[in-house]
Amino acid sequence: MLPLRCHLKRAPPQKILCRFCAMMGKLQSKLKHSTYKYRPDAIIEERIQATGFQEYSPAHSDTVSVVAALNSDLCVSGGKDKTVVAYNWKTGNVVKRFRGHEHDITKIACLHKSNQFFSASRDRMVMMWDLHGSSQPRQQFSGHAMVVTGLAVSPDSSQLCSGSRDNSLLLWDVGTGQCVERASVSRNLVTHLCWVPREPYVLQTSEDKTIRLWDSRGLQVAHIFPAKQHIQTYCEVSEDGHRCLSCSNGFGGEGCEATLWDLRQTRNRICEYKGHFQTVASCVFLPRALALKPIIATSSHDCKVKIWDQDTGACLLTLSLDGSGPLTSLAIGDTISLLCASFHRGIHLLRVDHSPRLELREVAVF
């Protein structure tokens, strides 16, 4: 705000009022959103106020639970309004609304650059949709006894894996809609599923604080990673399939971390990322083009998105989305953009800049 203050001192009284009102009309409360930069030792270097951004028509009328990118222009999201929305986040337009679920949307799964995607809901149903087809579901998958909390599609789109709070995983034939495998583990309340690229394996997090690797050929547990101290809320696999991330719930900084694991031979814990103060709800591997070194991003119920050095665990950037409420989901839009879903303010479009130095800022909300 210092540049604004200096500018006001030099302007005539009449111009002060006009310029100030015009600026507030554009930015509204957005000046509250700020970026913090960290050195590797976690000491704050500087605080930079975010510039104004665009506010598009909301994609949803209530809390957004999940967002996923279909391609470099379109995303698909779902939430408490029971609607799945395809949205062009570059133009700020709703492409199509899909209705069929009777309760909150909990998960969305899709393959990048595909026109088909899947949604799961508290109504215990999974539905398949076609971007260019009807607004009604193309296929329905019914088999869980409780809310569906995990969803992953195979790399060739032929199979779908779903998980639930009923402790079970189901493997589906996408073409027929039939369940071909079923597995159940006591106390395995599924929180998220992720298919390993180019492999028959599915990664799963659970409320029993464990991460399991399932072999889809027979739906058997292939490996159980060392148990964490807190509920594991989310998992993500790197594009090369060599590493994976998991997130922990928590409060007051206890728990609230992301963990990097080796998916190859040792399957050991590699690094931890600590700095959030509430549950970490989502994590992603960021494109290598963004920085000279591997980096990851996390979003949390503490209203913050953080970028980390993947190898050292150092927090490089923190973006605070004040007024957003808990951040629920994070997805890569394109090579420089992130999509972040929130409780109170819809979906935030974030831009990662790396020239001349790494920066993270909010550019739109919808």
Report all structural domains of the chain as residue ranges with CATH numbers, in order of start: 228-365 (2.130.10.10)
Q: In whole angstroms, give the CA distance from residue 42 to residue 337.
A: 24
Mean pLDDT, residues 20-41: 39
Give the SS3 label for residue 272.
Answer: strand
pLDDT of residue 112: 81
Higher pLDDT, 152 or 15: 152
pLDDT per residue as tens digits for the range 249-292 = 999 999 999 999 999 877 899 999 999 999 999 999 999 877 77
pTM of the predicted structure, to 2 decimals: 0.85
Q: Which two tokens stand for residue 299?
A: 């979003």
Average pLDDT over residues 103-116: 93
Instruction: Give the lowest-confidence range in 51-60, 75-84, 127-136, 178-187.
Output: 51-60
pLDDT band at 51 (very low <50, low <70, confident <90, very high): low
Mean pLDDT of 199-227: 96
Predicted local distance difference test score (pLDDT) of residue 216: 97
The C-alpha atoms of residue 202 and residue 181 are separated, in whole angstroms, by 13
In the predicted model, is pLDDT for residue 332 greater than 50?
yes
Q: What crossing angle do the helices spanning 2-10 and 13-27 adopt, rounded to 10°? A: 150
pLDDT at 299 (0 to 100)? 98
> What does the buried/exposed string (b/e) look like for 38-75 if buried means 16 or more CB atoms within 10 Å of the residue's CB?
beeeeeeeeeebbeebeebebbbeebbbbbbbbeeebb
Continuous segment of H or E residues that includes residue 22? helix 13-27
Judge whether residue 221 has pLDDT over 80: yes
Q: How far is CA 8 from the centre of its chain?
A: 41
Q: Which of 30-34, 161-165, 352-356 has the highest mean pLDDT?
A: 161-165
The answer to whether residue 182 scores a pLDDT higher than 80 is: yes
Radius of gyration of the chain (CA): 21
Q: What is the pLDDT at residue 193?
A: 98
pLDDT value at position 265? 78
Residue 19 has a pLDDT of: 35
Q: Would the pLDDT of 24 be above 50?
A: no
pLDDT exceeds cutoff 90 at 35: no
Higher pLDDT, 95 or 353: 95
Query: Residue 338 — pLDDT band, cuts 50, 70, 90?
Result: very high
Is the pLDDT score of 230 beyond 80? Answer: yes
| Predicted local distance difference test score (pLDDT) of residue 52 | 64
